[in-house]
Amino acid sequence: MKVRGRAYASPGCVLLAFDWPDGGRHEDFLGFAIQRSPGYEGRETSWLENKLDFRPLTPDAQPKPSSQAPFQKFHWWDGGIDEKDRGRSFRYRVIPVRGSGADDLRLVEDDAGEITLTIPQHREGAIATYFNRAVVSSQSFARLVKKGASLEGQMDWLADGIQDAFPAILDGADSFRCAIYHLTDRRWVLPLLRNFGGRGRIVYHEDTKEQESRKALDAEPLGPNVETKARFEGTLMHNKFLVRERNGQGEAVLMGSANFTPEGLTTQANLLHVFHSAQLAKAYAGRFELLAQDRPKREISGLASWLEIDDVPGSAIRLFFSPEKTRNREALDSVIQAVNEARSSVLFCAYSPTDAGLLKAILAAGDNGKILHGMLNSIPKPGEESSAIAVELYHRSRKDRKILKYGYFGKDDAPRGFLPELYTIDVSRYAAGKEPGERPWPVQIHHKFILIDGDTDHPVIYTGSANFSRNSSINNDENLLEIKGNRRLAEVYVAEFMRLYEHFRARAIWDLSHPRKAEEGTGSFRREAAAKDYALVLKTHRADWDRDAYTPGTPALLSRTRLL
């Protein structure tokens, strides 16, 4: 039986999901070879390459074609998508590989499957989507740094085009309104705002202790045509949006999870959207006015309710602004209901979701036969947080490994043949108002989205500035979008989520398999000495790598057969 497959494509990467139904009958099934047409660097065809090999890696080992080092997974991604590839079509041949090792590999050409796709542009219809790359802790970035790339080159690689959302939203504008939690980026954002020729108005969160945005604006002042104002009321003015206007009318809005800071655009995993919607622009502009007036929570919480948007073709959209009244749960309960109604899958990526009801619903979806993958910035150990759901989340992350946290290959404990990876980089040079080396506590996963049934024709996306916590719902100024029915947008989210999830999953499992132990009397932690000598190698028997993908009733079988 031939390989089945499907693709999920974003402007920056392609996720390929595939299944060889006959694989379970062959103990010598060793994975898949994948060939792309057209190939890289002008070639007619190219094999996608694998970092791993059947033999332990040496420090100077180069990736091998997958025809020689097959992928021992049921999905893989093509990260070699460049700006010039957007709008181009590609064909991928996915070929089962059988054998016993490096010197005995047979490509089962008769069962090869083909997947064709077109790389989307950033803007598709009325919605533009920008995910940054953000993987400081990666072999690719480690090689970039080792080759001597400048800080600017490193930032460009990590941003991967998210910075282009800002000229896109301001293109053609004669005025704008912006509400932003942190505004410090002096590489892309502040220069663009300073050179804006029309009228601008900005409201920012005022932290009486740190005063990040105020210090940045004092250090890098904008022109007299741009008015800036602090919001003091409320716990956090946590919004990140900008409304484009022309001739007094709102045309589009930029929103998402990224703060307008150098780290928010580069080292933290984030996204931004530009919605070309007069209705959304009007709604966000109205919210801006309330924030600019510094209205207290008691005056604006009564306005919290879902607002329907119907001028974005192909999408059923609702918008919610918090804070809502303390006794209400309208926003979170809507998300919980959608999770409870999931038909196939729940994927979520967030910095710190803490609402017990939501987390229970997500875990239950995974227990009830839905595909569940979650990526968090961190998962507290028992004792660090007292809530029962935090304890359960910690134990689940170690048991079924469906929900995991960020991990990396450190300086002293990377697997053999792997470069040590960085935890973060210092981008304070481009943070206005900060001294060199003055930087915030590193955050790697800053996303705030939940994708339900992204592998079906009926996807539901929740995305915005909120961390899916009770505190963000009742105390913070936040915005949350519900987007239903946009399959193309959902595929972008799947591709970008799985890129991060699979990347950090390997490192999280490495952390779990090789835990750091406290060194007596030092206050520091170090992995067991043998960890750095451990070699990650390809397996020579199917049962050693397929993770129960052919075993009935397992999550791995669901993922394989549902092509996710």
Tell me, letter by letter, the H, E, C secondary structure of 325-369: CCCCCHHHHHHHHHHHCCCCEEEEEECCCCCHHHHHHHHHHHHCC
Measured CA to CA, the distance from residue 102 to residue 119 in angstroms comes to: 33
pLDDT computed for residue 519 by the predictor = 52
pLDDT computed for residue 292 by the predictor = 98
pLDDT computed for residue 530 by the predictor = 52
Q: Are residues 332 and 236 in the same domain?
A: yes
pLDDT computed for residue 392 by the predictor = 86
- Is the per-residue pLDDT at 26 higher than 90? yes
Q: Are residues 398 and 303 in the same domain?
A: yes
CATH number, domain containing residue 409: 3.30.870.10
The per-residue b/e assignment along 362-400, b for 16 or more CB within 10 angstroms, e otherwise, is: bbebbeeebbbbbbbbebbeeeeeeeebbbebbebbeee
Measured CA to CA, the distance from residue 173 to residue 167 in angstroms comes to: 10
Q: Which residue has the tokens 């007292």?
A: 386
pLDDT computed for residue 325 by the predictor = 95
Q: Of 72, 62, 22, whose CA–CA distance to 547 is shortest?
A: 72
Q: Are residues 413 and 368 in the same domain?
A: yes
Q: Are residues 206 and 69 in the same domain?
A: no
Residue 165 lies in a domain: yes
Measured CA to CA, the distance from residue 315 to residue 318 in angstroms comes to: 10
Measured CA to CA, the distance from residue 44 to residue 46 in angstroms comes to: 7
pLDDT computed for residue 424 by the predictor = 94
Mean confidence (pLDDT) of the chain: 94
Can you name the residues that pair with 204 across neighbouring β-strands?
180, 230
- Is the per-residue pLDDT at 398 higher than 90? no
CATH number, domain containing residue 555: 2.60.40.10
What is the reported pTM? 0.95
Burial of 171 (0-12, 13-18, 19+ CB in 10 A): exposed
Q: Are residues 77 and 187 in the same domain?
A: no
Q: Mind listing the pLDDT tens digit for each residue in 99-125?
A: 999 999 999 999 999 999 999 999 999
Q: Which residues span the domain enclosing 154?
A: 124-510
C-alpha separations of 306 from 181, 317, 443 in Å = 22, 10, 30
Residue 480 lies in a domain: yes
More confident residue, 521 or 325: 325
DSSP state of 23: G
Distance of CA 114 to the CA centre of its chain: 27
Q: Are residues 142 and 179 in the same domain?
A: yes
Residue 368 lies in a domain: yes
Q: Mind listing the pLDDT tens digit for each residue in 71-95?
A: 999 999 999 999 999 999 999 999 9
Q: Are residues 201 and 306 in the same domain?
A: yes
Helices (H), 428-546: 470-474, 487-513
User: With bands split at pLDDT 50, 70 and 90, how would you rate the model's confidence at 533?
Assistant: low
- Is the per-residue pLDDT at 408 higher than 70? yes
Q: Are residues 388 and 490 in the same domain?
A: yes
- Is the per-residue pLDDT at 332 higher than 90? yes
Q: What percent of the chain has pLDDT over 90?
A: 82
Residue 499 lies in a domain: yes
pLDDT computed for residue 528 by the predictor = 57
Of the ranges 110-114, 283-287, 318-322, 521-525, which one carries the lowest mean pLDDT score?
A: 521-525
| Count: domains in the chain | 2
Q: Are residues 288 and 372 in the same domain?
A: yes
- Is the per-residue pLDDT at 515 higher than 90? no
Q: Are residues 331 and 198 in the same domain?
A: yes
User: With bands split at pLDDT 50, 70 and 90, how would you rate the model's confidence at 453?
Assistant: very high
Q: Are residues 86 and 201 in the same domain?
A: no
With beta carbons less than 8 A apart as the criterion, state whether 284 and 320 touch.
no
- Is the per-residue pLDDT at 521 higher than 90? no
- Is the per-residue pLDDT at 400 higher than 90? no
Cα dihedral 323, 324, 327, 328 sign: negative
Of the ranges 215-219, 435-439, 469-473, which one carries the lowest mean pLDDT score?
A: 435-439
Residue 517 lies in a domain: no
Mean pLDDT, residues 497-501 taken together: 96
Within a 10 A sphere around the Cβ of 45, how many other Cβ atoms? 12
